[in-house]
Structure 1
């Protein structure tokens, strides 16, 4: 973020103590390195002498990086970035906005300062009441029910997806607002529905949406990679930041749709995006994926020849656990589907780096490595859930039980530190062991993060056989059986996990030496072939823990690697060649 004349302070106890001691409200600015309008506000508003002078004299200005502190952003975001929030010394919100130009900002600063001091007693009383109510009753999110996980949850979300679909240009946008985001979780659910139903409508949704994003302004036709979102219905006018988070979902979408629709063009898009990720958003020496690449309207408006004379936009080289873990999960799937061993190798090096540099002594994951490589952030749900998925993906790909053991440790940490034993579901952070400044004192349960965590636990249950993980997953999903209705198609990820919880996965078990070529060939074929609810497990006859499972399941010994495709307690005849395995999986609906 750009340097300004504002005397920004970090989010810490010292800043709020100053606010109390000097009786000044806090000005909270939430920004991000990739955020175009954040840069504009720094250059214009926070460099305006009158604005700067008023802030420094009458406020305690606090700057927070959205990517490093998603927990603060969750509680204070005012509808986008930059977020401009005015807080009491207790951290409660007085007023808020997003981007504010200089003249309007000066008026806002003066009005809020006057209101704060003219109504100090009333504000203090209202804040005390709010804190009391929150502490007594908590957030309304994930309040727990005994409602069954019925098929109505999935059908209801699909109905909203259909109703809000832009049948002309593809994608989804809010009424009266042409802005379109990619929505990878919604696309995941649509792909699964097309696979299961074969209905032509869902093919239309996928073709129009994926072609719209890939063929026009949302995709960088020169260097590759998706921009963050489009400001128009036609996908022509993007905001030019490129986010690792988005690519983790979109690469998966295009790889899956290529198979479900038999559309090689979508595989080509995925290959192009992967090329961008490996060339621009990757630490090729140590492993890891970088967080984002900055928006630069002038640069991206140029063709290939024009760009040669300009420096590429800034790349945020920080390593974020949640985004990296999501990318590892996708990368191992995409590497298997697209025959890209370089991508698979980078993904496995990435997860090893995450474990080496971001895993705390208690087994939980820290949030990110800063620009100097120092770990930051306490154990947040988003990091644990994403890392859990990545560990199980690495276990499926390699057969290395160390990844399964690490996933088990992570699940146990989640249960001990973030799980609500009374109502089900997970809090986004451990308030008992972390800072509790401002609204961080209030626990929050995120629908999206809880769905991701529940899915991890379901995978772990089917791979480990430990019933308690399934029980936790089901309780977590049931905690949101009323609230999900408020989200419409934004609850797509939740609906997909409910579908997983309500059915048996296709479980491909491969018996063989994990390091042998025939075992790896079968594993890659199984991982890379799309099915909406599938997991792959290598059992090594030479490993004691695996040998007992092999004997328990009655698999015969064989010199060659052998695969079994199982649903529940029913398994296929042994399969020893890749072609037969792929063919069987494609027709297993």
Structure 2
């Protein structure tokens, strides 16, 4: 079968399109030069491997010879994996959102040969439907407009870009950030909170772990019970809903409805990492066993299904897979859905009745939100009743499910997401005392420091099949540094702290805006980008600026680097205006600011690995201490009272040291 240029790429998403009749190019100079030499517009298609509607548009349009002919004749088609090139994705998503009022994937953008966008959208059907114009019609009209109105198109595109550049100019500095910033953030989320179903806003509903982490910290900071209740109610609701995989562990991407009952079935590594952390933090705070069970299930799922031979973590699992009833047809959610009679045949009538009552399974199917009729007679699993004691039945169904055709797994290794997962496993090791989680964090860190670094010490973005591709972005540095710091505070191996310092220095060198503050997402060397953007939104993934601000404040204490504290303050100052006007867009940065302002240190002066040192650390690790830097001290600077000794310091003043685990526990209470 004939292939196009994407056959030479490493991204699973790009490779998926290698057999399309479309003459795809990867993002790069070869495509740009051809567009300029032939004076053709570029059709830029951006998506990712586990995107359901990306698959739909591929099947409907990019596999269609007639549409492929239009694309090949009139355009230079370029395909981009947004997970590999988030910098390209952000620039053109900004244009699509500005011109259409919304965005998403697949993203479809038409560019001049100078890469300037002039028309864009998301999914287009092959023929007009859903209120959308047919893709073939769109291609014909744009090709005609380019021939007849080229100058007007170019002028309009440049005017739009100038408008976007104007919007991106730094806002006037706001007043210094104080406690009112946290209160504004809390009130914003209070207004958005769904008191019936948990979560924030309506359908579709996303987990939003950055918001939950902020609310837990707001409770720790102020004892605001409403903040705590919003976070815990949301965590409980998600754990009960079908967005949670009750058989295999882990969470699906989001819920199509407001009650967490109809998931979009893809599973993303960054969701597992962030949700594992927030469930572990909720357990540290409340000791509620539900939270530790869910956290363990997430981490065990990642170990079982998303971990490579060297300890690296894969990116995602698809929403679509072959339908067990019709293997030649791929359907969304096919791997996860059940008919009542299937469960009865596997469990027997009595156990099946118990299970179906507990998990809401009905003969007619329980998917009430089914506009296309695709899920008739099928069931998702959600906690509709008492689920305790059903572990053996869940195990039987999981075993049967493992025999089904699995969803595609995107096995590329993304540096940022591996950093997030290292953090989750490190916290799992601390909070749960699980050595297997510590070993998982160690192996992943070793992989990252060996495979995801270039010869000059800089990071790379992705790795797959033995090859690295694309220089790293700011988020890759911030998330990996965070993972290394969390691992350092778990076992106090100096090499992790040293690597975190070196990578942070490199990150500031490559990405810091030394005039206006904050970090750009891409390095200055990315000359083909029309706009150099700063990540200013904590969404599905936390903003690089938010994570870096916290890293810098932690490193200022752990590595005794006051210059890093100053760098953190520059980030806070750069985003003071958006935090004042729209606090809901940066909850992770609010959490970083709370840490920076708190100035708390816990020093255990003892021999690493000694029983008395471990006993004191066990007390520390059992607590939710979001504003504390935890250090292992030496006897010269932190005198020992005959054995391992704990120092708790706040606002540059240390309380009386203690060797008692009971007294230490009391000192750590809020």
* Fold equivalence (TM over 0.5): yes
1:272 alignment counterpart: 297
Task: Report if aligned partners of 1:242, 1:293 keep a CA contact under 8 Å in 2.
Answer: yes
Equivalence for 2:632: 538
In 2, Cα distance between the equivalents of 1:343 and 1:418?
32
Give the equivalent residue in structure 2 for 1:442: 531
Conserved? CA contact 1:244–1:292, under 8 Å: yes
Alignment of 1:409-448 (within 5 A): 409-431=502-524, 433=525, 435-437=526-528, 440-447=529-536, 448=543
For 1:576, which of 634, 648, 659 is the aligned residue?
A: 659
Q: How many angstroms does 1:398 deviate by?
A: 2.1
Secondary structure at the counterpart of residue 451 of structure 1: helix
Query: Given that residues 368 and 377 in structure 1 are in contact (C-alpha distance below 8 angstroms), is that contact kept between their aligned partners in structure 2?
Result: yes
Residue 578 of structure 2 is matched in structure 1 by 483
Deviation at 1:204, TM superposition (A): 3.0
After TM superposition, list the pairs within 5 Å mapping 1:331-480 onto structure 2: 331-370=425-464, 372-431=465-524, 433=525, 435-437=526-528, 440-447=529-536, 448-480=543-575
**Secondary structure class of the residue paired with 1:510:** strand
Say if 2:403 is the partner of 1:312: no
Deviations 1:257-305 (A, max 9, x none): 123234221111111111111111112x311211111113111113546
Per the TM alignment, residue 67 of structure 1 is displaced from its structure 2 partner at its CA by 1.0
Identify unmatched segments of 5+ residues in structure 1.
542-546
Shift of 1:128: 5.0
**Who is 1:52 aligned against?**
68
Alignment of 1:286-325 (within 5 A): 286-296=310-320, 297-302=333-338, 304=398, 306-325=400-419
Aligned position for 2:330: none
- Separation in structure 2 between the aligned mates of residue 583 and residue 311 of structure 1, nearest angstrom: 53
Asked if structure 1 preserves the Cα contact closer than 8 Å seen for 2:604 and 2:631, the reply is yes
SS in 1 for 2:310: coil
- TM-score (norm. length: structure 2): 0.80
| Aligned residues of 2:606 and 2:634 also touching (Cα < 8 A) | yes
Change (3 A) 1:86 1:524: farther
CA contact (8 A) 2:461 2:472 kept: yes
Tell me which residue corresponds to 1:154: 182
Match of 1:24 among 40, 58, 61: 40
Q: CA 1:57–1:578 in 2, change beyond 3 Å: closer, same or farther? A: farther
Q: CA deviation at 1:130?
A: 5.9
TM-score normalised by length of structure 1: 0.91
Displacement of 1:400 after TM fit? 2.0
Question: Deviations 1:135-159 (Å, cap 9, x if unpaired)?
Answer: xx66626556263012222111111
- Once the two structures are overlaid, the 10-residue window that deviates more, 573-582 or 124-133, is 124-133
1:118 aligns with 2:114: no
| 1:14 paired to 2:42 | no
Q: Distance in 2 between matches of 1:376 and 1:43?
A: 27
Whether the 8 Å CA contact 2:511–2:523 is kept in 1: the answer is yes
Question: Per the alignment, do residues 493 and 308 of structure 1 end up closer, same or farther by CA in structure 2, a change over 3 Å counting?
Answer: closer
Determine the C-alpha separation between the residues in 2 that align with 1:451 and 1:379: 17
Taking the aligned partners of 1:575 and 1:525, their CA distance within structure 2 comes to 13
C-alpha change, 1:5 and 1:525, in structure 2 (3 Å) is farther
RMSD: 2.1
- Mean Cα deviation higher: 121-130 or 191-200: 121-130
Matched residue of 1:450: which SS? helix
From the superposition, tell whether residues 142 and 493 of structure 1 become closer, same or farther in structure 2 (CA, over 3 Å). Answer: farther
Give the Cα separation in 2 of the matches to 1:199 and 1:254. Answer: 19
Distance 1:523 1:291 in 2: 33
**1:83 and 2:99 matched:** no
